[in-house]
Chain A
Amino acid sequence: MTIVKTTIGRRSFLKASALAGGGMILGFNWLMSACSKPEDVLALPKEWFELNGFLKIGDNGVVTIMSPNPEIGQNVKTSMPMIVAEELDVDWKRVIVEQAPLNTDIFTRQLAGGSQSIRQGWTSLRTAGATARQMLREAAAASWQVPVDEITTEAGMLYHKSSNKSAGFGEMASAAASVEIPKEVTLKDAKDFKIIGTPRTNVDGQKIVTGQPLFGLDYKKEGMLVAMIAHAPAFGLKLKSMDGAEAKSMPGIKDVFTIKAYEDDYARQWSDVSAFPELVVVVGNTTWEVMKARKALKLEWEPFGDHNESFSTFSGGSEDKKVPGGLENSNKHTQLMASLAAKKGRVVRKDGDPDAVFKKAAKVIERSYTAPFLAHNTMEPMNFFADVTADKAVLVGPTQTPEFMEKSVSARLGLPLEKIDIQMTRMGGGFGRRLYGHFLVEAAVISQKMQAPVKLIYSREDDMTFGTYRPAYHAMYRAALDENNNLIAFHVRAGGIPESPLFANRFPAGSVTNYLAEEWSQESNITVGAFRAPRSNFIAGAEQAFLDEVAETAGKDPIDFRLELLARAKSDPVGEKNDYEPDRYAGVLELVKEKSNWGQETPGVYRGVSAYFCHNSYVAHVVDLVMENGKPRVEKVHCAVDCGIVVNPIAATNLIEGGSVDGIGHSMFSNLTFTDGVPDQSNFDKYRLIRHREAPKSIDVHFVQNDIDPTGLGEPPFPPVVGALANALYKSNGKRFYSQPFIKDIETSSLRM
């Protein structure tokens, strides 16, 4: 039993009820319960009673629960309301879920990033449900003239067992709404959970499979115009001249002009990354007319020189970024990274005396790993609706950072924050791309200029060539073994363009007496940003492939070797800043070992293992490869996860399956390269994303059962599977894979593939 202080006020949030802009997406089905099955259609209450900002109860007992965070496919719109419903003690079939408006006075951290929605929302969501439940109990106690402690609840009902009285939540909702908000409430014990830990299908499932409007791109308003942009074709170029006369004369075109989404003197936030602040805009009646007219633009571009851009950071500090002029090339990046990796980097952590130990080691292994830039490629391209008038701005669409972007729009339009209304739609993927919201500012500026509601749409080419990419990375590892094959020193030197992927205090830091971690970085004018499991999405695969090779050199089983290191980190940790728990790390390895029958050889099946910690969670993978028509194919992925309490197992499993496919897909196939600043891939004809026949045939997911408060899940399943895949590939043909995407080496390999 946990008692928590409540911080919930009664302040109403309904002024900005979801998507009140009168748009088509208003097709929110009030009659559909959270279960989304036709037989669960609910009758509308005559009156709603709001007990706190998170929920309201109808006079017939139907409960509306607000989903506070942006939904990018990580299931928060189902899982977060489940947590409220649990503590409220309501029947999930009587719950309607509604996307909450942006209001961080009520809903803290309305952001989709860092796999933190459930972890950081856990207590506030539970408290919201428990507070309402307590108010209902007090209302019932007053009505029945009995002590409140004797009132119990179950599935939306209130009971006073000794006097045989009962009432539905709906009957007591009116009285409860005027009960004083309790100063503290009791939260349930995990063993008493009835909703948390049970599979609940997606609250938007029915709408998704019947094509109902849900996404930003689906939003419409009467009189709405369509806008598209043209940006410089290469990183390192800016607009020199624009002739839009022909485009403007084409059918359905309203205007052609240039905008500056970010003025030169604007102090950008971290979420304002944009390589192309100056854009050419075509506005017209319909998408196709605008697409055609855009081809008739006559545009000239010119190089820009070195300059600085200053940004405020996520944590509130500020940083200056040097943006070098010039047109960059991927082949030169590769050479540059190799030469930088040969020099000493900035020392981030040092334990013991690694230099001396490497000199006297019995064996030293050194390997280097690389990975290219990646584009996020959300299936729904960047877009946003904006309706800006003299005194307010309504914006509707897909953003992972509505609170940050509200500030950017406010600053750019010169309207106070309270006049900016950003409404969140379900997103066709996020993966970090929509943490950066330049397209939202662009839409607002275009609408302001047109004095009309406008939907800005990016084509796939716009989306892929105007990115906030995953950086290009390089990691050099060295390990020293003594004559008994003990790991006595470990060295990582990691860097990237333009950011380093290093996490100096993660495993194997803490498990090796002599340890050195260095990093370096190289400036670039190619814009980058967070990409599902930032930095980890590369460094995990590199580190776990290297450890596999070290274990092999030491003549040890790769799981036993890792467990041996984790045992050392537990019993006699080196250093004090190790940011993982060795027990939980070992736990997922032991679980995946058991569930995959590790050690049992099957002819024709090639196995690799890997484990990693990030976003507060632990994941281990075993990948089983087979050869099909001379090509490697993942037959099965075994995955063990410790993310604490699993809120919604069916969705959590789906997310882990998807993260595993995502990690395999990107490390195997995806590659964004540049020639003279121009991305060589701009659509799915050249940019490879994993497809059905390349995906694992089956994925088994296993959770470590515990009562630890839930931790991240959107990102942790991605990083380790890259290492497991690399290690399985090695088993399949005796060749190590150091360079992503692995498909390049597979296709050129003269070995048995």
Chain B
Amino acid sequence: MAAINITVNGKKQALDIDPTTPVLWVLRDHLDLVGTKFGCGMAMCGACTVHIDGVATRSCVLPVSEVADKAITTIEGLSEKGDHPVQKAWLEHDVPQCGYCQAGQVMNAASLLKDNPNPTDEEIETAMSGNICRCGTYVRIKAAIKTAANSSNQ
């Protein structure tokens, strides 16, 4: 066990924890932030995507010891009122089917648009290919990202 301080969604958290614990399980088991999902445990599906200092990162293989003093943003903290342009676009396009992967998709898309406000279709496909949607909502995900890009650029 080790004392580790992390910042999640702007809030400082003092943990006494096994330092090898992946950030995913810190969020879900210790901080009751269950919006970040467990999908594969080996960074192959993207369901666990969070932002570490603003960069989309798979949290299921990231030991908590590596994020001390870094800013973690989860789906719960992406926007105060759930009205981030990506979240709004997701609702407008009614993207989710089962919905399980969508928090990871939204976090990945928000990161993409931050770095590249006007992505081409190809750039969207490349950036989003680490996030599996088992229901196959890819066409809507792409459309929603374009809508979010347009709304952010106005």
- Name A's B-contacting residues (CB within 8 A): 24, 36-38, 71-75, 199, 201-202, 204-206, 208-215, 217-218, 220, 226, 251, 286-289, 292, 377-381, 426-431, 457, 459-461, 650-651, 654-655, 657-662, 665, 683-685, 689-699
A sample of 28 inter-chain contacts (CB < 8 A) reads A36-B91, A37-B91, A201-B94, A208-B90, A208-B96, A210-B78, A210-B87, A211-B33, A211-B76, A213-B34, A220-B32, A288-B18, A288-B29, A378-B134, A428-B37, A428-B100, A428-B101, A429-B135, A459-B41, A460-B42, A461-B41, A654-B137, A657-B139, A658-B135, A661-B139, A662-B134, A694-B129, A699-B139
| 17 more CB-based (< 8 A) A-B contacts, given A286-B25, A427-B98, A692-B125 | A24-B32, A38-B83, A206-B82, A208-B96, A211-B36, A211-B74, A211-B103, A226-B29, A288-B18, A378-B98, A379-B101, A426-B99, A427-B100, A428-B98, A659-B136, A661-B139, A665-B136
**Contact indicator A208/B139 (Cβ below 8 Å):** no
Q: Write the chain B residue with the least CB distance to A461.
A: B41
Query: What's the Cα separation between A556 and B106 when bound, in Å?
Result: 47
Q: Write the chain B residue with the least CB distance to A201.
A: B94
Which residues of A are found within 8 Å of B126, using beta-carbon distances? 693
**Contact indicator B140/A654 (Cβ below 8 Å):** yes
**Contact indicator B38/A206 (Cβ below 8 Å):** no
**Contact indicator A380/B100 (Cβ below 8 Å):** yes
Which residues of A are found within 8 Å of B139, using beta-carbon distances? 657, 661, 695-699
> How many Å from the CB of B61 to the closest CB on chain A?
12
Known contacts A211-B103, A380-B37, A658-B136; A75/B97 CB under 8 A:
yes
**Contact indicator A287/B37 (Cβ below 8 Å):** no
> How many Å from the CB of B141 to the closest CB on chain A?
7
Which residues of B are found within 8 Å of A37, using beta-carbon distances? 91
Query: What's the Cα separation between A429 and B37 when bound, in Å?
Result: 13
> How many Å from the CB of B89 to the closest CB on chain A?
9
**Contact indicator A379/B37 (Cβ below 8 Å):** yes
**Contact indicator A205/B96 (Cβ below 8 Å):** yes
> How many Å from the CB of A430 to the closest CB on chain B?
8
Q: Which of A288, A657, A684 contacts B140 (CB 8 A)?
A: A657
Total number of B residues with any Cβ neighbor in A under 8 Å: 63
**Contact indicator B82/A38 (Cβ below 8 Å):** yes
Contact with A along B90-117 (1 / 0, CB 8 A): 1100111111111100100000000000
Which residues of B are found within 8 Å of A693, using beta-carbon distances? 125-126, 128-129
Query: What's the Cα separation between A74 and B136 when bound, in Å?
Result: 12
Q: Which of A428, A657, A660, A684 contacts B40 (CB 8 A)?
A: A684
> How many Å from the CB of B43 to the closest CB on chain A?
9
Contact with A along B3-32 (1 / 0, CB 8 A): 000000000000000101110010011101
Which residues of A are found within 8 Å of B142, using beta-carbon distances? 692
Interface presence of B68 (CB below 8 A): no
Which residues of A are found within 8 Å of B95, using beta-carbon distances? 654
Which residues of B are found within 8 Å of A692, using beta-carbon distances? 124-125, 128-129, 131, 133, 138, 141-142
> How many Å from the CB of B23 to the closest CB on chain A?
11
> How many Å from the CB of B70 to the closest CB on chain A?
19
Known contacts A459-B41, A692-B129; A210/B98 CB under 8 A:
no
**Contact indicator A210/B35 (Cβ below 8 Å):** yes
Q: Write the chain B residue with the least CB distance to A214.
A: B99
Query: What's the Cα separation between A430 and B136 when bound, in Å?
Result: 13
**Contact indicator B45/A210 (Cβ below 8 Å):** no
Interface presence of B1 (CB below 8 A): yes
Interface presence of B121 (CB below 8 A): yes
Interface presence of B75 (CB below 8 A): yes
Query: What's the Cα separation between A459 and B138 when bound, in Å?
Result: 25
**Contact indicator B29/A286 (Cβ below 8 Å):** yes
**Contact indicator A210/B94 (Cβ below 8 Å):** no
> How many Å from the CB of A197 to the closest CB on chain B?
16
**Contact indicator B34/A217 (Cβ below 8 Å):** yes
**Contact indicator A379/B98 (Cβ below 8 Å):** yes
Q: Which 3 A-B pairs have the closest CB atoms?
A: A211-B35, A428-B100, A661-B136
Known contacts A38-B83, A693-B125, A697-B121; A209/B136 CB under 8 A:
no
Which residues of B are found within 8 Å of A430, using beta-carbon distances? 98
Known contacts A73-B97, A251-B18, A661-B138; A217/B37 CB under 8 A:
yes
Query: What's the Cα separation between A660 and B139 when bound, in Å?
Result: 11
**Contact indicator B82/A209 (Cβ below 8 Å):** yes
**Contact indicator A211/B75 (Cβ below 8 Å):** yes
Query: What's the Cα separation between A690 and B134 when bound, in Å?
Result: 8
Query: What's the Cα separation between A202 and B94 when bound, in Å?
Result: 7
Name, among B45, B129, B136, the residue most crowded by chain A CB atoms within 10 Å (CB to CB).
B136
**Contact indicator B44/A684 (Cβ below 8 Å):** yes
Q: Write the chain B residue with the least CB distance to A74.
A: B97
**Contact indicator A690/B39 (Cβ below 8 Å):** no
**Contact indicator B132/A689 (Cβ below 8 Å):** yes
**Contact indicator B100/A429 (Cβ below 8 Å):** yes
**Contact indicator B98/A205 (Cβ below 8 Å):** no
Which residues of A are found within 8 Å of B37, using beta-carbon distances? 215, 217, 379-380, 428
Name, among B20, B37, B121, the residue most crowded by chain A CB atoms within 10 Å (CB to CB).
B37
**Contact indicator B91/A379 (Cβ below 8 Å):** no
> How many Å from the CB of B120 to the closest CB on chain A?
12
> How many Å from the CB of B26 to the closest CB on chain A?
8
**Contact indicator A658/B97 (Cβ below 8 Å):** yes
Q: Which of A38, A289, A427, A460 contacts B39 (CB 8 A)?
A: A460
Query: What's the Cα separation between A292 and B76 when bound, in Å?
Result: 28
Which residues of B are found within 8 Å of A199, using beta-carbon distances? 94
Known contacts A217-B34, A218-B34, A377-B134; A209/B18 CB under 8 A:
no
Which residues of B are found within 8 Å of A695, using beta-carbon distances? 136, 138-139
Q: Write the chain B residue with the least CB distance to A659.
A: B136
**Contact indicator A209/B29 (Cβ below 8 Å):** no
> How many Å from the CB of B147 to the closest CB on chain A?
13
> How many Å from the CB of A79 to the closest CB on chain B?
12
Query: What's the Cα separation between A563 and B142 when bound, in Å?
Result: 36
**Contact indicator A287/B134 (Cβ below 8 Å):** no
> How many Å from the CB of B111 to the closest CB on chain A?
15
Q: Write the chain A residue with the least CB distance to B30.
A: A286
